[in-house]
Amino acid sequence: MTASEPPCSGTRAKALRKWLGLGGRLALSVGILAWLIRRTEWEPLALLFRGARLDLFFTALGLYCLAQVISSYRWQLLARAVGFTTPLPRLVALYFVGMFFNLFLPTSMGGDVVRAWLLAGGPGRRWQAVLSVFSERFAGLMMLLALACLASGVNVHVLPWWSMGLVWGATATGIGFVLLLPILGRHFQRFREMTHALSLYRSQRRTLAGVSLLSLAIQIAGILQVWILSLALGMEVPLTAFAVVVPLVTLLTLLPISVNGVGVREGFLMLLLAPVGVSAAQAVALGLLWLTMLAVASLIGGIVFVAGGFTREYREEQRGPVCCHSDQGRTGQPASAA
């Protein structure tokens, strides 16, 4: 930084890059979705939505919200193991707030950063909060992939061969990462910190057993939700096929190339479900209905965020150290973790 450069120029440049990146991902999401809809005949797509059964949609929505409450309890078990005594109602509120931010942040896990910040309540316990969120997400993802591996045996001649390779490859990568983490920790500081943090759970066998059982219930519910949405559109796809498709699509929406997986979700549903007789219009309609369910549930988090006083907490976290300001008494505020 030169003498003539304002103290906040680095922060402003970082914020600009963040917004440009978000704009690029949003443009890509809209572009992919527009391309998919353009390739799809409008009349069949409109007929699918007009004939959709609202009772099944709200059944899937209710099951999704219930799964988020159970996920919050799973998070509470992991957070308690690293020193947090946060009551379950607040964790449920934080979970829905995170879902709300997932609507706008890159990947379908962007809101996890927000709920980790709010759980930490300051820089002193931020690493433990991030660890609890990462562990909760990782446990769910690995259980989802385990279910997909089991279901792949039934769908080996139904779904594309490359989808099976992705399922088993992703599962092997996750297991390999856990096994190699201690070795990586010997050479890299970041992995060393992660290894030390995860070691806090080694003696928590009952907690890990409970988390595994809860993860199984949550991921089965996630597969059922999408299957129910397909029934709402009049589709006849075996439940076992969704046991492979849902984990793959969920994994692909984690890639930081779109906003909340918009476009990616619909595109891969089209690719994966075509071999079982699903038309392009049906795949796009299912993806949009899935997105609608997520959006409706996430808007509940937006109401909680505003009504629960989380807006003030989030602004304080986002503000970080005050620069370009004459009030030196506020420079000790915690820095943003972004």
pLDDT tens for each residue of the chain, 338 residues long: 455 545 555 666 655 555 455 555 556 556 655 655 666 666 777 788 888 999 999 999 999 999 999 999 999 998 988 888 889 999 999 999 988 887 766 555 668 888 888 888 767 778 888 888 888 888 888 888 888 888 877 766 667 777 777 788 888 888 887 778 777 777 776 667 667 666 666 667 788 888 989 999 999 999 999 999 999 999 988 898 898 888 888 887 776 666 666 777 888 888 888 888 888 889 889 998 998 999 899 888 888 888 876 656 555 555 544 344 434 433 333 333 33
pTM: 0.74
At 228 the pLDDT is 97
pLDDT in tens, 67-85: 999 999 999 998 988 888 8
For residue 334, is it within any domain?
no
Q: Which two tokens stand for residue 169?
A: 């490859």
Predicted pLDDT of residue 183: 78
| Structure tokens given for 174 | 């996750």
Q: Has residue 2 been placed in a domain? A: no
Structure token pair of residue 79: 């957070």
**Cα–Cα distance, 336 to 338 (Å, whole number):** 5
In a domain, 214, yes or no: yes
- Is the residue at 220 inside a domain? yes
Domain limits at 85? 9-319
Helix (H, G, I), strand (E, B) or coil at 259: strand
The pLDDT value given to residue 323? 45
Query: Is residue 328 a part of any domain in this protein?
Result: no
- What is the CA angle 221-224-228, rounded to 5? 140
Assess if residue 4 is contained within a domain: no
Token match 């969920």: residue? 250
State the virtual CA torsion across 281, 63, 253, 146 in degrees, nearest 10. Answer: -110
Closest listed residue to residue 141, CA positions, set 240, 289, 266, 252: 252
The pLDDT value recorded for residue 73 is 95
Count of domains observed in the chain: 1
pLDDT, residue 132, reads 87
Query: Residue 309's pLDDT is what?
Result: 66
**Tokens describing residue 274:** 């075509």
Please check whether residue 279 lies inside any domain of the structure.
Answer: yes
Q: Is residue 272 part of a domain?
A: yes
| CA–CA gap between residue 156 and residue 268 (Å, rounded) | 18
Residues 6+ away with beta carbon under 8 Å from 283: 266, 269, 270, 273, 274
Which tokens in the block code for residue 48?
A: 């699918």
